[in-house]
Structure 1
Amino acid sequence: MYIICCYDVASRRNKPVNKLCAAYLQPLQRSVFAGHITERQLMKFQIALAEVIDTEEDTITIFVAANAIHLARWQIGVVARGGTII
């Protein structure tokens, strides 16, 4: 499956959440990651995220698609972390 993970967390938890997202996905923007992942990996990822964040303050949204083929993506502006728009 293909997922997009977006997060808005307190600054003190930003680095651990970012590191966790980078372990499973590729960065698109500062707090947006995407990539292919198995159901088992997704479950592990969600559990790990839940252990790092404060559910009273932080928000993580995960969009799930069967695959990236069924998504359209447009980007305007600076490409994150040295990527290229084709």
Structure 2
Amino acid sequence: MYVILVYDIVVDDEGKKILPKVFKSCKKYLSHIQNSVFEGDMTKSQMMALKLELQKSLRKDKDSLIVFSSRDQKWLSKEFWGKEDDKTSKFL
């Protein structure tokens, strides 16, 4: 499945420690495209592994993470408004 993942970590004292962990976990499975945004293809088992890994770090009362998924990237369109910095140029 094709996934777009977006997170928002509250950067307080604890959040400063959580943020690099979340970034590193996401980077293992997906391509980093902008600040706290990642995208890429994943299997269901990879998605489950990432979810379990992130649940160890995310604080349910402060942090948020949204995952958009589709069967295939071809069902989504990508359009740049402003600076075009396509770090995923390998994707069509």
TM-score (norm 2): 0.83
Task: Provide the C-alpha distance between the structure 1 equivalents of 2:88 and 2:5, rounded to a whole number of angstroms.
Answer: 20
The 5 A counterparts of 1:1-86 are: 1-11=1-11, 12=16, 13-76=18-81, 77-79=83-85, 83=87
| RMSD, matched Cα | 1.8
The CA deviation string for residues 4-36 of structure 1, in whole angstroms up to 9 with x for no partner, is: 000001231211111111000001101000000
* TM superposition outliers: structure 1 runs of 4+ over 4 Å: none
Matched residue SS, 1:46: helix
List gaps (5 residues or longer) in structure 1. Answer: none
Task: Provide the C-alpha distance between the structure 2 equivalents of 1:65 and 1:79, rounded to a whole number of angstroms.
Answer: 23
Give percent identity, aligned residues only. 28
The CA deviation string for residues 32-80 of structure 1, in whole angstroms up to 9 with x for no partner, is: 0000000011011111111111011000000010010100011221516
TM-score (norm 1): 0.88
Question: Which amino acid in the other structure matches residue 7 of structure 2?
Answer: Y
Question: Which amino acid in the other structure matches residue 62 of structure 1?
Answer: V
Point out the structure with max Rg over C-alpha: 2
List gaps (5 residues or longer) in structure 2. Answer: none
Q: What is the count of residue pairs matched by the alignment?
A: 84
Question: Which amino acid in the other structure matches residue 4 of structure 1?
Answer: I
